[in-house]
Amino acid sequence: MNGSIFEKFTTERSLLYIAIAAILIVAALVFYLFVVYSKENIQVLTPNGAEEWEIGQTYEITWKAKGVDKVGIALFKGAEPKWIVENINAGLGRYEWKIYPGQEYGQGFWIVVLEYPWREGNEIDYSDGPFAITFPEMASCD
């Protein structure tokens, strides 16, 4: 009789350990899916800094976005950003930007890609370093 009580106790204990392990596995999976995996973010890939982009040419701005539906892209130098494009599909991951004549040129420009429409707390990322917008060289008549 003692053997059967001991066996019953061991079986119940094993089932309890299995149930606890299953609960911990499910909890870890839920944590990963809702906290780690689903975290929103944006990462600007190009320009990445030190590029020289010439007025009149077209360049590709690229980014990665996770958990974000729409983005806006702005050119930033100093205090006021200047919109390049607003309300585009974040999943595209690229935008062809033609730098039109009249665009300010010089050093110290940054690209910012942000979750659109912008609200405080939205995802945002800047190019890793500043880049230059250059004026096209004119052909010499000499």
Give Cα 48 distance to the centre of its chain.
14
Question: Domain of 127: which CATH number?
Answer: 2.60.40.10
Number of separate domains in the chain:
2
Q: pLDDT digit string (tens) for 98-140?
A: 999 999 999 999 999 999 999 999 999 999 999 999 998 876 6
Same domain assignment for residues 48 and 89: yes
Same domain assignment for residues 86 and 47: yes
Q: What is the CA radius of gyration of the chain?
A: 27
Q: pLDDT digit string (tens) for 49-73?
A: 999 999 999 999 999 999 999 999 9
What is the reported pLDDT for 3? 58
Question: Taking a C-beta distance cutoff of 8 angstroms, is the pair 124, 114 a contact?
Answer: yes
Same domain assignment for residues 34 and 46: no
Confidence of residue 87 (pLDDT cuts 50, 70, 90): very high
